Structure 1
Amino acid sequence: MTVMEKRGRGSLVASKIGDKVLGRRKELKMTQADLAKNICTQSQVSRIEKNEIMPSSDTLYQIACRLNVSMDYFFGVEPVNHTIRGKKICEDYLESKEFETLEVFVDAQLQTVLTEYEHRYLTWVKAVCSGYTKPDLRIAIKTLEALLENPIKHQDYELEASIHSSLSIFYRKSRESEKAEQQIRKARHIINENHLFNETAAKIYYQYATFLMTEEKYEDCLDLSNEGIDICIKHNILFLLDNLIYLACGSKQELDMISQKDHELCCVGYGLAKMKNNTVLIDLYEQELKEYQLT
């Protein structure tokens, strides 16, 4: 591809673009040859970065795609595009618990040129996969601990909460209860501090409440479950609402505090589980309802 030279009044614009191309390329740890491949020559990339020439719009567009930014990024209108290539695939496979297949996909992605943020996200996903596919939990735990010890400039609070949450799960599986609670508490703090009330928040509240139930801390489990239920209702989040209701009702059963209001709430949770065809939870609700003698 040809590169148009712009001089005179265009030198200021060229300077801004050259600086941004250079800075972004170094952020991605990409060589000039990597950036130039199938777009222009390495020499032209060098001259662009030295602010000697202004690329044509077509060349600049291809450079933007290679650097994973929008065209506006070069003109000071928009920050770096922090979207993650393949994120939807990761989310779908995580949701369906197809960890072995996802691990293959993530390994392939980690071999490509990535932003620091993309690398952090995919490393977290890989750690989650290894926690469920590898016999030694320490591999996943050490990877997640390393991520938390080495924060990056771009802060995605939802991702950071998820890293803490995943670490809590694996600590719990390795019977390190104190560490598990510390991590899930940190995840909850991040969610609340940054008002991130979405499906990730529901997961964290559900995980924390489940942990408290297994530790037989029923009063704390009830408080966390009710807080999670309130968030789900206030922010119209149906995800895991049926699970949180089940934990709240289960806690009240253990505390011998079941009331008519709890009967109604339990029926709501049971209905949600049936709508979602959550067969495991349906069975649990039916057992609880029989115990309550509320059916």
Structure 2
Amino acid sequence: MFLGSIIYNKRREMNLTQIELADDICTQNTISKIEKHNTAPTVNILIKICLKLNLSLNDVFSDFSSRDSVEKESALDKIEHDALSFKLNEIDQKMSSLQGKLNNNDMKQYELIIGIVEYQKNNIDESLFTLDKVLQLTKSANDDIYTLLAYLFKGLGYLKQSHIDRAQYYFQMISDSFEEKLEIPNANELEVLFLCKTLAKSFIDMKLYQKAYRFSHCGLNYAQRNHTSYFLDELNYSAACAVKNDPDKKDQYDDYYNLAYYLAKFNQNKNLLKEINH
């Protein structure tokens, strides 16, 4: 998994775009997937990339030689997955077991998970404090998924405290960082779609329906392009809510609503089914 990070960092260091790196090697989409850790290249492609970036194969694979490092990264990713899925059982124990075993690059993800858990426990002030630590670690870089997730949960925290203006500020920071393709180099599908579905739901709650539709629609398109099914029920429901009162989009509303209902039933998403039936 560290392969993508090495290539991404070296490409940026050499001021190359993904298109420039891909030239005569592969497609830009392939480079994007490699950098997001979603796919491993063939040996032929990997050799060409290394030659272009002045990397050796040992440079690329050096961190794979440590089984413990892979296991720790994998464990941290699994814990983040649980946190974003609101599965808090034993998450404190799992986090405690990683203390003292993580390197500096892991700490922004580690602190983000703590901030998410504090938010879900309704410890909003503690969550906001921890999320500020994440932003210090990422230097608020807008192309870092941990920056954007920290903004998201800060916005959610302020929303819970009824500080609507502050919430909108952080949501707008994410919106300004997003492009239609939602390409964030160090993000995985779950993180991108969690951002989309949570922003869409938050904008619905604030009656900002155009923004809600933008993020639900972007999320649905992203899921289709990447052949993933995370949060499709919630994304469709937010899209339905966003166009509900638009007489020109009645057919779209029916499609979104019906898809949301059947997907929620299939996924046994009881909370969403309750909201839909209400």
Aligned residues of 2:210 and 2:242 also touching (Cα < 8 A): yes
CA distance in 1, matches of 2:127, 2:87: 17
Q: 1:101-131: per-residue Cα shift (whole Å, max 9, x none)? A: 2123213322x23200222221211121122
Q: Kindly report the root-mean-square deviation, in angstroms, between the aligned alpha carbons of the 2 structures.
A: 3.2
Q: 1:206-241: per-residue Cα shift (whole Å, max 9, x none)? A: 111112111111232223322222222232222112
Give the aligned partner of residue 173 of structure 2.
186
Q: 1:124-147: per-residue Cα shift (whole Å, max 9, x none)? A: 1112112223x5411110111122
Indicate yes or no: 2:276 matched with 1:285.
Answer: yes
Give the aligned partner of residue 107 of structure 2.
119
Aligned residues of 2:108 and 2:137 also touching (Cα < 8 A): no
Give the aligned partner of residue 169 of structure 1.
156
Aligned residues of 1:252 and 1:258 also touching (Cα < 8 A): yes
Match of 1:239 among 230, 241, 246: 230
CA distance in 2, matches of 1:98, 1:77: 34
Equivalent residues in 2 for 1:51-70 (5 A)? none
CA distance in 2, matches of 1:230, 1:224: 10
Indicate yes or no: 2:200 matched with 1:213.
Answer: no
Indicate yes or no: 2:186 matched with 1:204.
Answer: no
Higher alpha-carbon Rg: 1
Letter in 2 for 1:240: F
Indicate yes or no: 2:75 matched with 1:86.
Answer: yes
Letter in 2 for 1:228: G
CA distance in 1, matches of 2:212, 2:246: 11
CA distance in 2, matches of 1:193, 1:95: 20
1:186 deviates by 3.5
Q: Residues 175 and 277 (structure 1 numbering): CA distance in 2 closer, same or farther, change over 3 Å? A: same
Q: 1:47-89: per-residue Cα shift (whole Å, max 9, x none)? A: xxxxxxxxxxxxxxxxxxxxxxxxxx99545354574152254
Letter in 2 for 1:107: S
Give the aligned partner of residue 46 of structure 1.
none
Letter in 2 for 1:117: N
Structure 2 alignment gaps of length 5 or more = 1-55
DSSP 3-state at the match of 1:150: helix
1:286 deviates by 4.0
DSSP 3-state at the match of 1:259: helix
Equivalent residues in 2 for 1:107-146 (5 A)? 107-110=96-99, 112-133=100-121, 136-146=123-133
1:246 deviates by 0.9
CA distance in 1, matches of 2:188, 2:221: 11
What TM-score do you get using the length of structure 2 for normalisation?
A: 0.64
Letter in 1 for 2:240: C
1:203 deviates by 1.0
Indicate yes or no: 2:94 matched with 1:105.
Answer: yes
Deviates more, 1:278-287 or 1:214-223: 278-287
Alignment length, in residue pairs? 213
Give the aligned partner of residue 224 of structure 1.
215
DSSP 3-state at the match of 1:268: helix
Aligned residues of 1:99 and 1:129 also touching (Cα < 8 A): yes
Aligned residues of 2:134 and 2:147 also touching (Cα < 8 A): no
Higher RCO (C-alpha 8 Å, min separation 6):
2
Aligned residues of 2:115 and 2:127 also touching (Cα < 8 A): yes
Letter in 2 for 1:199: L
1:194 deviates by 2.9
CA distance in 2, matches of 1:91, 1:146: 17
CA distance in 2, matches of 1:264, 1:85: 38
